[in-house]
Amino acid sequence: MGGHTRPRGVRRLALLLALLLLPLMWLGAEPAFACSCVPRTVAEQVASASAVAEGRLVQRDDSDPQEVVYTFSGTARFKGDLSPGFEVHTAAQSAACGLAGLVVGRRYVMFMDRDGGTLTATICGGSDSATPAYVDKVEAVTGPGTDFGAPPPAFDFGDPFAGWFALLFA
């Protein structure tokens, strides 16, 4: 007179379906990756960059779904040898540490690395809008930027004391 019991065949079918579907949860799942940056000071970012410059973004080429190429008209060079019209390659997605949201017409301070002859940048490198406050922070480390018509700064930014030297003697 007790409760209702399910027929043995229904219980077996439910168990079989559970055993078959459980592994499918892991088969279809792919790992999710996100960009993760270690916080660094502007001095550390300058020291690790191959080139640092301020420029106005004049063109954005996002025809490649994996990469965006930004073309800048340089206004000030803080570190490295760059042409006045420099291109920067970055991943198309911020989840892959790419600088995906830069806006044509705006000024940016770009922290770049060289990959062969190609300049690259990530969101972890220090690139940001060229606000007066941010430019001041960069110049506190590098000294004033040079015009793109002038020779590149001769200061050796590979020296671990370069930031302190710039702060003390700029």
In a domain, 1, yes or no: no
Whether 83 has a pLDDT exceeding 50, the answer reads yes
Nearest to 110 by CA among 154, 66, 77, 132: 77
Is the pLDDT higher at 156 or at 121? 121
CB neighbour list of residue 40: distance below 8 Å, 6 or more residues apart:
48, 126
What letter represents residue 128's amino acid? Answer: D
pTM tops 0.75: no
Is the pLDDT higher at 164 or at 46? 46
In a domain, 30, yes or no: no
Query: What is the per-residue pLDDT for 167?
Result: 43
Whether 164 has a pLDDT exceeding 50, the answer reads no
CB neighbour list of residue 85: distance below 8 Å, 6 or more residues apart:
58, 71, 72, 73, 74
State the pLDDT confidence band at 1, using cuts at 50, 70 and 90: low
In a domain, 151, yes or no: yes
State the total domains in the chain.
1
In a domain, 76, yes or no: yes
Least confident of 52-61, 79-88, 140-149, 153-162: 153-162
Question: What is the extent of the structural domain holding 107?
Answer: 42-169
In a domain, 21, yes or no: no
In a domain, 152, yes or no: yes
Strand partners, 110: 53
Q: What CATH number is associated with residue 101?
A: 2.40.50.120
In a domain, 156, yes or no: yes
